[in-house]
């Protein structure tokens, strides 16, 4: 199948996934009805009499913003994971490799435990604290790696991220032990959820995601070259140290922003990049946007499963992605091991 046909089919499947996600629930809304409601809200088109006011309210105020936020978070995590795997030349690397999730969890825990709130941010104090702490953790890990190894070899960066993640997780464990009454809220945040999210979150996160993904796409050539190794990249004129700082910083910013609004959701950033590379190859000008498309659609479907499988109880979306992602992780690991022995 030609690349253009694959892209067209991928777009169609992603749209179908989004329409399915907004339609499935306690009140079923068909894809046609969903499109009619969106046309009415966006362009003032007339609604058929068969569509009730409650259906309009459910889709427009509850399901659509939630699905769009899930799509945005999935896209950002997938693109970040693609970049991390390419920069670090490790197919098991993820958008959380540098400790951004641990840092964000620590920032969120501080807000939850203290009840601290900034007047200007209000309800957005929690995501702001998560983003800030996540970025500080990444900055600390990368700075530490650059001081220990000025050439910033990949293994040094990965080990620095692991060290900071383990330390922060130890601090989090102590906080959980000392504050049992907040443990449920902390656990829910660490497993990820799109519950009670609305248009405010979408309008804040969507521009960040678009700008971040476009910025990373400008480094498409450098990413392609880095996959051959640092020595070859340097020989081709790439300033590997500067490019690594820029790519890791942008990828961490995408991850931190996504985690700040939805909590920690794993494995999306592992699954989508691998599927996209198998289908579209390794040219990053194509794999980055397609990873965003696949990751966003997959996240929307996982969130749909999380809220409907045992309704009215809602599962953490991170649990759903882990059920799918853990076997996939094992497959990638053992496949890589077999190829290394061949």
- Predicted pLDDT of residue 109: 84
84-114 pLDDT, tens per residue? 999 988 888 887 888 888 888 888 888 888 8
Per-residue pLDDT for 341 more than 70? no
φ/ψ of 264, rounded to 5, equals: -85, 120
- Predicted pLDDT of residue 191: 85
Distance between CA atoms of residues 123 and 120, nearest Å: 9
Give the mean model confidence (pLDDT) for residues 8-13: 96
Per-residue pLDDT for 340 more than 70? no
155-173 pLDDT, tens per residue? 888 888 888 888 988 988 8
Query: Which SS3 state, helix, strand or coil, does residue 194 take?
Result: coil
Locate tokens 């790696």: which residue? 145
303-319 pLDDT, tens per residue? 999 999 998 889 999 99
Report the 10 Å Cβ neighbour count for 74: 32
Report field, pTM of the whole predicted structure over 0.85: yes
- Predicted pLDDT of residue 215: 96
- Predicted pLDDT of residue 260: 84
Distance between CA atoms of residues 46 and 212, nearest Å: 37
Distance between CA atoms of residues 200 and 130, nearest Å: 17
pLDDT band at residue 274 using 50, 70 and 90 as cut-offs? very high
Distance between CA atoms of residues 94 and 122, nearest Å: 31
- Predicted pLDDT of residue 209: 94
Identify the top-confidence range among 125-139, 237-251, 274-288: 274-288
Tallying the residues shown for the chain, one arrives at: 342
Locate tokens 């900071």: which residue? 164
Lowest mean pLDDT segment, chosen from 118-127, 179-188, 251-260: 179-188
Distance between CA atoms of residues 251 and 247, nearest Å: 6
- Cβ pair 291, 272 in contact under 8 A: yes
- Cβ pair 257, 44 in contact under 8 A: no
Instruction: Give the pair of three-digit tokens for residue 122.
Output: 């209000």
CA dist list (Å): 32 to 23, 50, 98, 258 = 10, 12, 43, 30
- Predicted pLDDT of residue 339: 66
Locate tokens 């089919």: which residue? 9
Domain 3-341 class, CATH top level? mainly alpha
Per-residue pLDDT for 188 more than 80? no
Distance between CA atoms of residues 58 and 67, nearest Å: 12
Give the mean model confidence (pLDDT) for residues 238-259: 89
The domain spans of the chain are 3-341
149 contacts: CB under 8 Å, gap ≥ 6: 156
Percent of the chain at pLDDT exceeding 90: 48
Which among 23, 22, 138, 149 has a CA at the least distance from the CA of 80? 138
User: Both ends of the chain: CA-CA distance in Å?
Assistant: 29
Nearest-5° Cα angle at 162, 160 to 168: 105
């Amino acid at each position: 199948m030609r690349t253009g046909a694959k892209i067209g089919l991928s777009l169609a499947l992603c749209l179908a996934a989004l329409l399915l996600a907004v339609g499935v629930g306690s009140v079923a809304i068909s894809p046609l009805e969903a499109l009619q409601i969106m046309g009415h809200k966006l362009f003032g088109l007339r609604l058929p009499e068969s569509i009730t006011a409650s259906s309009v309210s459910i889709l427009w105020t509850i399901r659509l913003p939630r699905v769009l936020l899930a799509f945005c978070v999935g896209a950002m995590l997938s693109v970040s994971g693609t970049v991390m795997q390419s920069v670090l030349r490790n197919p098991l690397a993820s958008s959380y490799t540098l400790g951004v999730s641990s840092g964000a969890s620590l920032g969120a825990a501080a807000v939850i435990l203290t009840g601290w709130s900034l007047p200007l941010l209000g309800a957005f104090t929690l995501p702001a604290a998560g983003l800030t702490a996540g970025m500080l953790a990444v900055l600390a890990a990368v700075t530490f790696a650059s001081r220990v190894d000025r050439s910033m070899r990949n293994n040094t960066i990965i080990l620095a991220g692991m060290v900071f993640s383990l330390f922060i997780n130890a601090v989090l464990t102590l906080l959980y032990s000392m504050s049992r009454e907040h443990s449920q809220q902390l656990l829910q945040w660490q497993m990820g959820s799109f519950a009670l999210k609305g248009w405010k979150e979408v309008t804040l996160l969507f521009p960040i995601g678009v700008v971040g993904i476009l910025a990373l796409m400008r480094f498409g050539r450098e990413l392609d070259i880095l996959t051959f190794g640092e020595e070859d990249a340097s020989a081709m004129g790439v300033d590997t140290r500067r490019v690594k700082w820029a790519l890791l910083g942008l990828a961490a910013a995408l991850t931190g922003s996504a985690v700040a609004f939805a909590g920690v959701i794993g494995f999306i950033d592992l699954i989508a990049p691998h599927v996209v590379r198998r289908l579209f190859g390794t040219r990053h000008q194509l794999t980055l946007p397609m990873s965003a498309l696949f990751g966003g659609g997959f996240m929307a479907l996982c969130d749909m499963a999380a809220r409907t499988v045992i309704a009215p109880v809602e599962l953490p979306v991170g649990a759903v992605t882990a059920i799918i992602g853990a076997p996939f992780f094992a497959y990638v690991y053992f496949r890589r091991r077999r190829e290394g022995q061949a």
